A and B are shown apart, each in its own frame.
Chain A
Amino acid sequence: DVKVTQSSRYLVKRTGEKVFLECVQDMDHENMFWYRQDPGLGLRLIYFSYDVKMKEKGDIPEGYSVSREKKERFSLILESASTNQTSMYLCASRFLRGGGRDYGYTFGSGTRLTVV
């Protein structure tokens, strides 16, 4: 089975800190995604990447950046953390070429970030 690993399950950071959230997948997936999930708002796409060194803005990229230097790793960076970035962050990956149900996502276990 595909495994998507997020480096931290829980994280507490101070306002203004630079925060790195790491995500690693082990099945050679081309596509990787970062979402945040808030009650009542569902999953909101922050950034995604369809290949190494490639990145695209999602629906809510402000205050975030990403890095994809290697195929298996997709990092989310909060340049200067703010309290409104307190959320659950979910990383996902997929193998698009499979088609059909194979282009569904496999999610990491999530990082619950609290900014104080």
Chain B
Amino acid sequence: GQNIDQPTEMTATEGAIVQINCTYQTSGFNGLFWYQQHAGEAPTFLSYNVLDGLEEKGRFSSFLSRSKGYSYLLLKELQMKDSASYLCAFGDSNYQLIWGAGTKLIIKP
């Protein structure tokens, strides 16, 4: 079967670093996505990993290990505007995106 799991909620401090983990199980895999969703708004694309390793994009980085069915999103130098939900999703063998329930990130001053 297929499943994907991520923590429901995390809290971090402004200026700090936070890592949001995502684990998945699937027989067919076509990449892993991270999206950011502010309250009441649509999800927006953050990153895509299809090969193992770390992809860095400014303050945000995303890591993938296909053998472990594991990804994380790393946010550095946290800002208040980073308070949002972060959704991970993998592409299955039919290129359908299978979504996690999202991690609500709360940033405290």
Contact = CB atoms under 8 A, between A and B. Distances in A.
Interface of A: 40-43, 45, 48, 90, 96, 100-101, 103-110, 112
B74 interface: no
A112 B42 CA distance: 11
Given A41-B101, A45-B96, 10 more contacts: A42-B87, A42-B99, A43-B43, A96-B95, A101-B31, A103-B31, A105-B45, A105-B97, A107-B44, A109-B41
Closest 7 CB pairs of A and B: A42-B101, A101-B48, A107-B42, A43-B99, A109-B42, A42-B99, A107-B43
B91 interface: yes
B63 interface: no
Contacts, number: 45
Contact of A100 (B44, B50, B96, B101): B50
6 contacts: A48-B96, A90-B43, A103-B30, A103-B91, A106-B45, A107-B42
A100 B48 contact: yes
Interface residues on B, range: 20 to 34
B95 A110 contact: no
Interface in B84-104: 87, 91, 95-97, 99-102
B42 A90 contact: yes
B100 A42 contact: yes
Nearest to A103: B95
Contacts of A42: 87, 99-102
